[in-house]
A and B are shown apart, each in its own frame.
Chain A
Amino acid sequence: MSVGKQTGKASISFTDPVYIQSTASVVGPKEGDGPLKEYFDMICEDSMFGEKTWESAESTMQKEAATLAIGKAGLTPHDIRMVFAGDLLAQTIASSFGIAEMGIPFYGLYGACSTMGESLSLGAIAVSAGYGAHILCATSSHFATAEKEFRFPLGYGSQRPLSATWTVTGSGACVIGAKVPSASSFPGASPLVHANGCAAITGITTGKVIDFGFRDSLNMGGCMAPAACDTIFRNLEDFSRSPEDYDAIITGDLGMIGQHILLDLLAEKGTDISSVHQDCGLLIYDNQVQDTHSGGSGCGCAASVLTAWLLPRIASGELKRVLFVPTGAMLSKVSFNEGAPVSGIAHGIILEHIPTPCKGGKS
């Protein structure tokens, strides 16, 4: 197997595509009411996911997504060589507690809301280097745990500014590997293969932490847009591509304000992505009806939109090449209270439709 090669200043292109073998998404009731409701694998009407605390609820949700993804790939947890998972909680407890019961070698990640990009990048690097036939990438976020971690108790009567985003209660998981996903006789198996082909990671652009001196943690779009701009611009440069080479450039959770800033910043650099840009945070909720202000956010936002909506579209060939750019804001309650600026990070993942030989699968 040939490994990938370094491309440009901060990118890797994988010589052999890293296939997405299966995907799973689990979301809460609010997301289950949103525009993407028909695409999620599981909508849990109970925000507590049958648990006693919000943190356990998030762990259970992530475990559920991981179990689903493994089952859909026609595998058991023993077949997974390692898992790259993360979430928004301090010391990433949602992931470590959720994955613990599954007995899979575990790497815990923190990339704020960009964690899905981080886990897919590291997972793809490991697969490409031949260190795992099946690797699981998963992230989650929960509205209630994020509010507790970063803001106020849920019952507190405060006003959210219009720039605020709503943390998605959701988890997304993917099994990735070097082999083309194929139909399996395993009960419940439903790998990510379409009659037309499948989806694969063909390259990545690693994000830099970008600090523009912005301090308003309730305007995440403003904190993260410069990082998304940097990663997208470097990706286009490293791969010598123009925005038209992508059917879509999909950011994680910039929301309405972040999208506006991203388009402006890129326009300033002479790049126009307005015709191909979409944002997971704007896809998952109906901002007007669901009162989510600027849009959705959180690791679970990018992860659930990717796994439920985006990857099946790439597998079917509706989208041929997509740049997926989950965005994260780097801060803690302490750094914010100490007056430190909120910096951003964005990881770029190139996802491509691979037409053949992915035949024989379910559509």
Chain B
Amino acid sequence: MKQHANGNKTYKENQKNYVKYVNSITPTHSLPLNMIKAFLTGGLICAFGQLILNTAMTIGADRETAGNWCSLLLILISVILTGLNLYSKIGKFGGAGGLVPITGFANSVAASAIEYRAEGQVFGIGCKIFTIAGPVILYGILSSWILGVIYFIFQLVEVM
């Protein structure tokens, strides 16, 4: 073992060296390739969203209603794909490209609901449905609140 072999080094240093050594021999996904895949996946999802938006507007919806249709349909499709065990394949291929759009959020909620269904409606689905999405909701609200406070201060300053 390293810490015995090099008695003059401290235990912490040896731990650090070991972590460095392991990381140096561990293969990782190619970052540029992953970025291209994420761009393609995320781009396709967003382009599809745009298609829904434009279609809704051409058939007479106003911008806000069309936006709602876009979100709803993307969520619906994502949830159905999760149920068919297909969204995990999109996520595996696309990485952040599948994670960041609204479809990724819907996937994290639906996947948890399916997984914890066996533990009951309340303690299973009820308690655990936001296991993955929970942090997004919490910190989403927190950051909105902070921005709200900043906005409020700016308004006060302008008034004065």
Interface residues of A (CB under 8 A from B): 52-54, 148, 152-163, 210, 212-216, 219, 222, 226, 229-230, 257, 260-261, 264-265, 268-269
CA–CA, A257 to B22, complex, Å? Answer: 8
Contacts of B80-129 to chain A: CB distance below 8 A? 82-83, 85, 87-92, 94-95, 98-99, 104, 107-108, 110-112, 114-116, 118
B6 → chain A, closest Cβ, in Å? 10
Q: Bound state CA distance, A121 and B5, in angstroms?
A: 30
The distance from the CB of B153 to the nearest CB of chain A, in whole angstroms, is 35
* Residues of B25-65 contacting chain A, CB below 8 A: 25-29, 34
Give the distance in Å from the alpha carbon of A158 to the alpha carbon of B89 in the complex: 8
Known: A155-B85, A156-B91. A52 touches B112 (CB 8 A): no
Contacts of B108 in A (CB 8 A): 156
Min CB–CB distance B151 → chain A (angstroms): 34
Chain B residues closer than 8 Å to A54, beta-carbon distance: 118
**B18 adjacent to chain A (CB < 8 Å):** yes
Pairs of residues from A and B, 7 with the lowest C-beta to C-beta distance, nearest first: A157-B91, A213-B15, A153-B115, A155-B111, A222-B22, A156-B111, A153-B111
User: B19 on the interface (CB 8 Å rule)?
Assistant: yes
- Tell me how far the C-beta of B141 lies from the nearest C-beta in chain A, rounded to whole angstroms: 22
Which range holds the interface residue count of chain B?
35 or more
Does B160 lie at the interface of the complex (its beta carbon under 8 Å from any beta carbon of A)? no
Are B88 and A157 neighbours in the complex by a CB distance under 8 Å?
yes
Interchain CB contact under 8 A, B16 and A162: no
Cross-chain pairs A/B with CB under 8 angstroms, 18 sampled: A54-B118, A152-B111, A152-B132, A153-B115, A153-B132, A156-B88, A156-B112, A157-B87, A157-B88, A157-B99, A158-B88, A158-B91, A162-B26, A212-B15, A213-B18, A257-B27, A260-B25, A261-B22
Minimum CB–CB distance from A208 to chain B (whole Å) comes to 11
Contact B88 A154 (CB under 8 A): yes
Chain B residues whose CB sits within 8 angstroms of the CB of A222 once the complex forms: 22, 26
Across the interface, name the chain A residue whose C-beta is closest to B114.
Answer: A155
B138: Cβ under 8 A from any A Cβ:
no
CB distance from B8 to the nearest CB of A (A): 16
**Is B1 in contact with chain A by the CB < 8 A criterion?**
yes
When the two chains form their complex, are residues A162 and B28 in contact, meaning their CB atoms are under 8 A apart? Answer: yes
- Whether B9 is near chain A, meaning CB under 8 Å from some CB there, is no
Complex Cα distance, B98 from A139, in Å, reads: 37
User: In the bound complex, do residue B1 and residue A269 qualify as a contact, i.e. CB atoms below 8 Å apart?
Assistant: yes
Contact A155 B29, beta carbon cutoff 8 Å: no
Q: Looking at the complex, which one of B12, B91, B132 makes contact with A159 (CB distance below 8 Å)? A: B91
Please name all residues of chain B whose beta carbon is closer than 8 Å to the beta carbon of A257 when the two chains form the complex.
22, 25-27
Given contacts A155-B115, A268-B5, list 18 more A-B pairs with CB under 8 A: A153-B114, A153-B131, A155-B88, A155-B110, A155-B114, A156-B88, A157-B88, A157-B104, A157-B111, A158-B88, A158-B92, A160-B92, A161-B29, A162-B28, A212-B15, A213-B19, A219-B26, A257-B26
For the complex, what is the distance from the CA of A268 to the CA of B4, rounded to whole Å? 11
B38 to chain A minimum Cβ distance, whole angstroms, is: 10
B41 closest partner in A (C-beta) = A157
**Nearest chain A CB to B97's CB is how many angstroms away?**
10
A55 to chain B, nearest CB (A): 8
B10 shortest CB reach to chain A, Å: 12
Q: How far is the CA of A135 from the CA of B111 in the complex (A)?
A: 41
Given that A162-B27, A222-B22, A261-B22 are contacting pairs, would A155 and B87 also be in contact in the complex, using a CB cutoff of 8 Å? yes
Q: Which residue of A lies closest to B28 (CB)?
A: A162
Instruction: For residue A26, give the distance in angstroms from its CB to the closest CB of chain B.
Output: 22
Q: Which residues of A contact B89 (CB under 8 A)?
A: 157
Nearest A residue to B131 via CB reads: A153
Instruction: Verify B26–A163 contact, CB threshold 8 A.
Output: yes
- Alpha-carbon distance A94/B87, docked complex (angstroms): 29
Most chain B CB atoms below 10 A, which of A159, A214, A269: A159
Name the distance in Å between B117's Cβ and chain A's nearest Cβ. 9
Tell whether, in the assembled complex, residue B87 and residue A226 are in contact, meaning their CB atoms are under 8 Å apart: no
A155 and chain B: residue at smallest CB distance: B111
Chain B positions within 8 Å of A157 at CB level: 82, 87-92, 94, 98-99, 104, 107, 111
Asked whether, in the complex, the Cβ of B115 is within 8 Å of the Cβ of A163, the reply is: no
- B18: chain A residues within 8 A (beta carbon): 212-214, 226
In angstroms, how far is the closest chain B Cβ from the Cβ of A115? 24
Chain A residues, Cβ within 8 Å of B115: 148, 153-155
